[in-house]
Structure 1
């Protein structure tokens, strides 16, 4: 995103533009780093093309956006945390806010019991409190991921931890709705839908990205932008 540097002007917001441009440059290189060293699991090689049902899935962007990007992620995955905090904001600026694409999050919970518990709880948040609150919880959950690697496969995201995390962004009555949903296992089917897709698509690690059902195999952010642009052109957009 070299053109970002040229748009920086003096004024009250110039420093914020410089910071975001710098983050964008970091994201270009971080994307390759993440995908080369992503959390892996023993499954078949990912497929390159698949029709996907996006209904009732949390996403960022406009309904009218022609292209759909999916991130398969695990809340206990350190690379997913880095991707969420460093790369997704740039994807949002370059592809989501411009109306080119919607950005979906699908669960691929394989690291530990915590992965499953937190994913199902997040699905309950989505079902009861909606898309906006889901993304707030999603981001907050990643921000609380333990930095010590020894906790990666240990169970530290118990129900009380998840409830306390949600209480930071939701009222007590809303939290109670989510907990009731979670206890009633109403979110299990939505979580299983994601997991079935991860298996069907042969997702071999997190984060893994698909664009309109096609596996993203690039190593730089520009590769993703080009893939989205091509997908949009194929739809006449």
Structure 2
């Protein structure tokens, strides 16, 4: 993990210049990706990367031939919109049909809350499994404050995260996650995700990849087409 001074510098840069991406539904089952700007997260030049999908939370059938990745930050308002309005469409059109699996990779950069939430979520996945992870994941996005507060810190403190998890798991399970979280055992998983974000040249959240290639389309039809082409290439 980077030291606290590096984190503070990074957070200050992000806070001063970051512009969120906007994702909106333009019609039923159609989504528009409108890219408005860049944030200040320092990334490497995009390169090819062999992606290890093991130990990563996903939705879908294990046998699905194509892997979709969403890079997200729990403090990003457009990630909240993506979770609420776009993920259900992806799930309906390509996940439930068995065409693809949808993975969530952490890219926490907005502030310390982002990293804290990512590590806590990794603890949920490691200790309680995929089903509870996705319940926590969805609930955390639903409870995200309005975007005017997105860059404020200490909203996603430990008390908040524990209360959110209690909506999806009994106290005994929550305590398991807390023990894992306090032991800093989630650091490696979050750093692994950040490493992929850097190698792939991710500069904003949410960002989508299909079998390691960036999705730059504008509609669900574009995504379905990319998934179908990836499946044919297997």
Cα RMSD of the aligned pairs, angstroms, is 1.8
Q: In the TM superposition, what are the counterparts of 1:221-232 in structure 2 within 5 Å?
A: 221-232=220-231
| Partner secondary structure for residue 69 of structure 1 | strand
Does the 8 Å contact 1:61/1:101 carry over to 2?
yes
In structure 2, do the counterparts of structure 1 residues 27 and 153 end up closer, same or farther at CA, with 3 Å as the change threshold?
farther
Which residue pairs with 2:74 in the alignment? Answer: 75
TM-score when normalising by structure 2? 0.84
Q: Is the 8 A contact 1:73 1:206 kept in 2?
A: yes
Q: CA deviation at 1:186?
A: 1.1
Cα distance change on mapping 1:44 and 1:167 into 2, 3 Å: closer
2:51 is paired with a residue of what secondary structure?
A: coil
Structure 1 unaligned residues grouped into runs of 5+: 1-22
- 1:137 is matched with 136
Compared CA separation, residues 151 and 233, structure 1 to 2 (3 A)? closer
Please tell me whether residue 218 in structure 1 is matched to residue 217 in structure 2: yes
In the alignment of these two chains, the number of paired residues is: 210
Q: Which has the higher helix share?
A: 1
Partner of 1:154: 153
CA offsets, 1:160-179, max 9 Å, x none? 10001101111010000000
Match of 1:28 in 2: 30
Map of 1:95 onto structure 2: 94
TM-score by length of 1: 0.83
- After TM superposition, give the deviation of residue 87 of structure 1 in Å: 0.3
C-alpha contact (below 8 Å) 2:74/2:141 kept by paired residues: yes
Q: Distance in 2 between matches of 1:38 and 1:172?
A: 42
* SS of residue paired to 2:223: helix
Rg bigger for which structure? 1
How far apart in 2 are the matches of 1:82 and 1:38? 17
> What secondary structure, in the 3-state scheme, does the structure 2 residue paired with 1:209 have?
strand
Q: What is the aligned partner in structure 2 of residue 185 from structure 1?
A: 184
Change (3 A) 1:233 1:46: farther
**Contact 2:116 2:156 (8 Å CA) reproduced:** yes
